[in-house]
C-alpha cells in the first residue's frame, strides 16, 4: 500500500450499499485499493490508476452485467 495500515485509509462504499456486503475502495499515492466490507482485514486488491479507470469504463459499458 502506501505504508499506512488499512484501517487508517479513507475507505469508500458505493451509494447503493444497503446490505453491508459491498466493495470498498481507497485511493493511495499511485493506486486504488479494493476490499470487501465484510472482511476488511482480508485480501486487498491493488490496481493502478489506469487499471481502475479501465475497470470503471468497462462496468459503465455493461461488460460485467452477465456475471
pLDDT at 2 over 70: no
Look at residues 17, 22, 27 and name the one whose alpha carbon lies nearest to residue 52: 27
Residue 42 belongs to domain spanning: 6-60
Is residue 1 domain-resident? Answer: no
Q: Is the pLDDT of residue 1 over 60?
A: no
Total domain count, the chain: 1
User: Does the residue 67 lie in any domain?
Assistant: no
Average pLDDT, the chain: 87
Residues 12-21 have pLDDT tens digits of 987 777 777 7
Decide if 66 is inside a domain: no
Q: Quick one: pLDDT band at residue 6, thresholds 50, 70, 90?
A: low
pTM above 0.95, yes or no: no
DSSP states along the chain: --SS-GGGS--EE-TT--SS--EEEEEETTEEEEEETT-TTS--EEEEHHHHHHHHHHHHTTTTTT-
In a domain, 42, yes or no: yes
Q: What is the pLDDT of residue 20?
A: 72
Amino acid at each position: 500500500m502506501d505504508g499506512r495500515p488499512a484501517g487508517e485509509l479513507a475507505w469508500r462504499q458505493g451509494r447503493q450499499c444497503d446490505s453491508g456486503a459491498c466493495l470498498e475502495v481507497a485511493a493511495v499515492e499511485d493506486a486504488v485499493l479494493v476490499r470487501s466490507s465484510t472482511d476488511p482485514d482480508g485480501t486487498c486488491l491493488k490496481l493502478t490508476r489506469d487499471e481502475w479507470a479501465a475497470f470503471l469504463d468497462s462496468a459503465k459499458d455493461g461488460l460485467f452485467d452477465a456475471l
